[in-house]
Amino acid sequence: MIKVIEPNTDNVTIKAVKALMTEIHRDDAKDRNKDRNYVNMQVNPCKMCMPMGGALALKGVKNAMTIIHGSQGCSTYIRRHMAAHYNEPIDIASSSLSEEGTVYGGSKNLKIGFRNLVNMYQPEVVGVLTTCLAETIGDDIERIVREVRDTGEFEGIDIIPIPTPGYGGSQTEGYFDTIKALMAYFVKKPVHVGKVLEEALEPLEPFINIILSDATCEDVREIKRMVELFGVKAIFIPDISDALDAPFTNHYNKLSEEGISREELKKVIYAKATIELGDLVGPNHSPALFLEEEFGVKAYRLPLPIGINNTDCLVHALAEVLDTDIPKALEVERGRLMDGMIDAHKHSATGDIAVFGDMNLVMGIAGLVLENGMHLKLAATGSMSKRFKEQLESKLDQYHQKAEILQDTDYETIREVIQQEGVNLMMGPSDGKFIWEKDHVDFIRVGFPVHDHVGAQRKNLMGYKGSLIFLDEITNHLLDQKHKGYRDRMYQTYYPKKESHKPIQADEAVR
């Protein structure tokens, strides 16, 4: 029976409430994904919202602009994280819904915002993303966009409504849903699926589609290089490699002139196959499966190419699609990665690892951790995916390990597990830095967002080369831990401690 405590601020009451909450925590420790705390509230969720993923996808489209249908805070939140992570100017428009728009509908605001956007930026493509507020009040985004098109004021501009309610999933679902919406808008079913339309000016060279999630700009460039070694072109959907890591120039463009163009988006149905890297979202979110079901483009859904096993999956898929041998250069790079794994193996076993962040990235890093003999203690994500749990449990069984697997979780819970499991190295986005600050657990920042370090967009984790670079970084962190305080530990462990000499009492002397 729980004693009812009258609200006041005296110390006795505070202690009683803390004791009660501690007891509830203890009872619920067996299932940390339920009842995280007394009010079942997430404290600093381990995920970002769907519009964040949608905005990121649109940044990889040439001459595209995003408008967020919601409050100003939504667009500011997204701009802030993206600008700090990529160190690039990020413009995102907002319909600036206020109390009036919330009560009477936001159609007027969105239409005014759209006109202002077009006047200022002259985009070719505009993605209209919704938010929690717009979806909750029931604004019909497709109707509003249709009315904007029907005015005839915006000829030549492709306006694409994309539902991305913040409570509908994480940034991962928002990212894939936006890519799927772009495809659904731009691609049209030809008379003969798989053949170039008769009105095409020239035959298309063979190419493949690649959809890559959770990748840095350097990762995209690395996967491009790997594909080029096979002698084939790839269309990356989207392509952030230069759009969000642009070289310095004397001229500033309001919109990125890099990324996939709308002309390329119209051609994706003629690809030999679509390789989707990041396979944990449900089939209803998958652009690759959409192209396969609607247009017969063969789909390959693969894990992120982090670590030797996952990169092998990508390389073998490319060889199968193109019906060719694996390039010699990639075989050499694979051998170099294996050599690096041998170099690191004698240090790897000292790693008790926690990985958190986006589920596809967590799965990829977990694979690299396990195949190199480190101990995976925690794998945590803010998303919910049956495939995530099943695949991770299978990997753990393969390497005879057990780890805490958390989904739909927050950093408060992650911190509890890290403390309990004795983790000595964390990997994840900057949101985990307060654990590093408070508990002094070593921390490698990886994923999105990284806003307290520079260079996140240039970090390379994927492919054989990227995996080796990342493995070296992990190993060096473990070596630094070994060397830091080494002499003091040796002294405390092995130096003979002098026995304390107490004065001999008279009765003891007689005995």
Q: What is the pLDDT of residue 9?
A: 47
Range 346-492 has CATH code 3.40.50.1980: yes
d(CA 41, CA 445): 26
d(CA 377, CA 414): 11
- pLDDT, one tens digit for every residue, the chain (511 residues): 444 444 444 555 555 545 545 554 444 445 555 545 455 567 789 999 999 999 999 999 999 999 999 998 999 999 999 999 999 999 999 999 888 888 888 899 999 999 999 999 999 999 999 999 999 999 999 999 999 999 988 999 999 999 999 888 899 999 999 999 999 999 986 545 444 444 444 567 899 999 999 999 999 999 999 999 999 999 999 999 999 999 998 888 889 899 999 999 999 999 999 999 999 999 999 999 999 999 999 999 999 999 999 999 999 999 999 999 999 999 999 999 999 999 999 999 999 999 999 999 999 999 999 999 999 999 999 999 999 999 999 999 999 999 999 999 999 999 999 999 999 999 999 999 999 999 999 999 999 999 999 999 999 999 999 999 999 999 999 999 988 877 887 888 888 766 555 555 555 555 5
The CATH superfamily holding the domain 208-246+257-328 is Nitrogenase molybdenum iron protein domain (3.40.50.1980)
Q: Is 259 exposed, middle or buried (0-12, 13-18, 19+ CB in 10 A)?
A: buried
Range 50-186 has CATH code 3.40.50.1980: yes
Closest C-alpha to 481, from 492, 489, 469: 489
The phi, psi pair for 505, rounded to 5°, reads -75, 160
The phi, psi pair for 97, rounded to 5°, reads -65, 135
Q: Is 94 exposed, middle or buried (0-12, 13-18, 19+ CB in 10 A)?
A: buried
- Looking at residue 205, the DSSP 8-state letter turns out to be P
Ramachandran sector of residue 422 (left: φ over 0; alpha: ψ -120 to 50; beta: rest):
left
Paired residues of 364 in beta bridges: none
Q: What is the pLDDT of residue 346?
A: 92
Q: What is the pLDDT of residue 222?
A: 98
Q: How many H-runs (helices) and E-runs (strands) does the chain carry?
A: 20, 13
Q: What is the pLDDT of residue 379?
A: 98
Q: What is the pLDDT of residue 252?
A: 85
Structure tokens at 260: 């996939």
d(CA 245, CA 253): 14
Q: Is 276 exposed, middle or buried (0-12, 13-18, 19+ CB in 10 A)?
A: buried
The answer to whether 52 and 78 have CB atoms below 8 angstroms apart is: yes
Residue type, 307: G
d(CA 262, CA 403): 44
Q: What is the pLDDT of residue 19?
A: 53
Torsion of CA 144, 114, 242, 247, to 10 degrees: -170
What interhelical angle do 50-58 and 171-186 show, nearest 10? 50
Tell me if the pTM is above 0.75. yes
The answer to whether 59 and 243 have CB atoms below 8 angstroms apart is: yes
* Three-state secondary-structure class, residue 139: coil
Q: What is the pLDDT of residue 504?
A: 54
